[in-house]
A and B are shown apart, each in its own frame.
Chain A
């Protein structure tokens, strides 16, 4: 288990992609908005917000932190595009939320048939990220480098 505080972000560095993980940190409600409806997503403090970036440079890391910050700190809704929306092909960062996140490269970026699935680069395929009390468990990512960075002041 990797200890992770609420004010920290865990970065997992691959060769072609990067993952960023933060705790939800408190009992929270997020909103998932589609063109047709809005769904409230109730999450607990130990659950995770995970962003996957298609790249490894500092620009991607900044983007990952920005997206997670927008969701957790600014309470920005999670916007869902209609199928085959042209913007889907331009995504460089995608996000998943839940207690257990499974990385898959078999799904098209922007297409998430199950809640816990997150698309990533091929090297992360099959990896699992679990939110546990006080930290995070990474399965199938033993080869990757990881580091923790500050995320927020609280």
Chain B
């Protein structure tokens, strides 16, 4: 998908299947993709797609 410090990218983010999530534990809202998404703030698995 893309790269890291020095191996950067020009990724067309809008074409990637990103979904919006909300954490039911801390209320954090975030964008994510993939399976078994957890909250990046509190690491809770109690997240739902918006």
Contact = CB atoms under 8 A, between A and B. Distances in A.
Given A81-B10, A91-B8, A112-B11, A42 B33 contact: yes
A18 to B, nearest CB: 13
B12 A94 contact: no
Given A98-B1, A113-B15, A80 B32 contact: no
Given A31-B40, A40-B31, A41-B33, A111 B3 contact: no
B32 to A, nearest CB: 4
Q: In the complex, which of the residues A27, A29, A114 has the most CB atoms of chain B within 10 Å of its own CB atom?
A: A29
Interface residues of A, number: 45
B12 A38 contact: no
Interface in A64-101: 67, 70-71, 76-85, 87-88, 91-98
A84 B12 CA distance: 12
The 10 closest A-B pairs by CB, nearest first: A42-B34, A40-B32, A110-B10, A95-B3, A93-B7, A80-B11, A78-B2, A81-B8, A42-B37, A39-B31
Contacts of A27: 36
Interface of B: 1-13, 15-18, 30-38, 40
13 contacts: A29-B37, A32-B11, A38-B31, A40-B30, A78-B3, A81-B10, A82-B10, A88-B9, A93-B6, A96-B1, A96-B2, A98-B1, A112-B10
A115 interface: yes
A67 B4 CA distance: 7
A43 to B, nearest CB: 6
Contact of B18 (A39, A76, A82, A94): A39
Contacts of A96: 1-2
Contacts of A3: none
